[in-house]
Structure 1
């Protein structure tokens, strides 16, 4: 093997790695149970899939107990296998996919815009402007499609991200608030308490106790 062949192999390996991590990053938001709709965040596996899920969980526990090199990577890989297994059992990605009207197209565009901008853009009127429609029209579409207001949908996405981050015990409440563009920590605490009935610390304490 000459040096040019070796370079080609190394370059191919780098490109494959970049492609793999790009797919991994983009797949996260495509898993249907990671969404803002509470009814879609729980999935009951079919009977023939349960043994596979149990095997994956057993592998995760084995890795956790043994603490070998790359344990966190192995656990992550097994979690992805579990997500893929679960996602393949979901018949549709969201309650609006069965509708094909113009309003449903706008609704999907609205949800995509929220996913891209929820940390910075919080007002329905700003999303309406991005869609070139009025705020009233956007609210009408949301009510028509999923019986929620535009403001509720935006807020649910922010709340979902806050919950995910609160489970990471290494992040302080103030840091999480800053990452979500709540520059006043007290306001972030009030926001979480209003919509979960728990303070951020009380919410995360549930997971401390479980772990």
Structure 2
């Protein structure tokens, strides 16, 4: 993974495949999303919220999330490697920026990063890193100025804990009921809480995370289908193939071939 921050439009981030953002998944890098047009829905740590114009989302690396973009939604995302000099918050943030000068500050920083990325010059990597550090200074100032979020209720705390476990353990053969047991609740209670917080059942959250990982490995990687199934905790390649067919309408091999054809076009 490169140590240089990356700037992309939301359309570029999606790579022409809405599932890459719309299914539950986690990133190896921190993300700062800035929406400048249209509407979207984000689910972070199992909590769904609407996202509008001049909303900023900070999503720490390893956080379970999904982003569903509306048809007219436009914006930018800055992807920041963890462990470097650019400081990002430990917890997700959703900031609605109402002050025009504050909106303009972030837009100017991201535009400068786009120029460096699209037209590389000497020391562009350093310039991108410097702009990213300024961007996170902007973010921390905006967090201080922003209204304090409501304290999470019991359902939110439970679902956030479940989302963190799914992000960490989705490659294990654990079932939703196993997660519920480890959280000290019944599967019914966990499912009810998930529905309340994001409109998905607990099983759907786990399924989406596994499906996202499977599609990435099949469409972007070269491992055998059997090896992909083993890595994701499926008890057999046949069961994995039925899982992919059920959720995509294609077999794993057909899905891989279709993705390769689109990339070659």
Structure 2 length as normaliser, TM-score?
A: 0.50
Correspondence for 1:129 among 178, 181, 193: 181
Correspondence for 1:116 among 153, 168, 175: 168
CA–CA distance in structure 2, aligned partners of residues 38 and 108 of structure 1:
17
Superposition pairs of residues 75-94 of structure 1, within 5 angstroms: none
* Aligned partners of 1:125 and 1:134 also within 8 Å: yes
The size of the alignment, in residue pairs, is 162
Map of 1:144 onto structure 2: 196
User: Greater CA deviation, 139-148 or 177-186?
Assistant: 177-186
CA separation of 1:143 and 1:175: change in aligned 2, threshold 3 A: same
Map of 1:206 onto structure 2: 258
- List runs of 5+ in structure 2 lacking aligned partners: 4-25, 32-58, 77-105, 144-148
* Aligned partners of 1:139 and 1:150 also within 8 Å: yes
Correspondence for 2:233 among 151, 169, 181: 181
SS at match of 2:68: helix
* Aligned partners of 1:36 and 1:160 also within 8 Å: no
Map of 1:39 onto structure 2: 68
Flag the structure with larger Rg: 1
What's the CA shift string for 1:41-94, capped at 9, x where partnerless? x972186435633643666xxxxxxxxxxxxxxxxx9xx97xx79x979999xx
CA–CA distance in structure 2, aligned partners of residues 202 and 99 of structure 1:
46
CA–CA distance in structure 2, aligned partners of residues 54 and 202 of structure 1:
39
- List runs of 5+ in structure 1 lacking aligned partners: 1-19, 21-25, 60-76
SS at match of 1:176: helix
CA–CA distance in structure 2, aligned partners of residues 98 and 202 of structure 1:
46
What's the CA shift string for 1:81-108, capped at 9, x where partnerless? 7xx79x979999xxxx866111111111
Higher strand share: 2
RMSD over equivalenced CA pairs, Å: 3.9
Correspondence for 1:155 among 207, 217, 224: 207
CA separation of 1:138 and 1:208: change in aligned 2, threshold 3 A: same
Correspondence for 2:113 among 46, 52, 74: 52
CA–CA distance in structure 2, aligned partners of residues 51 and 204 of structure 1:
37
CA separation of 1:162 and 1:58: change in aligned 2, threshold 3 A: farther
Higher helix share: 1
Alpha-carbon deviation of 1:189? Answer: 1.2
Structure 1 length as normaliser, TM-score?
A: 0.61
CA–CA distance in structure 2, aligned partners of residues 28 and 43 of structure 1:
23
CA–CA distance in structure 2, aligned partners of residues 43 and 98 of structure 1:
28
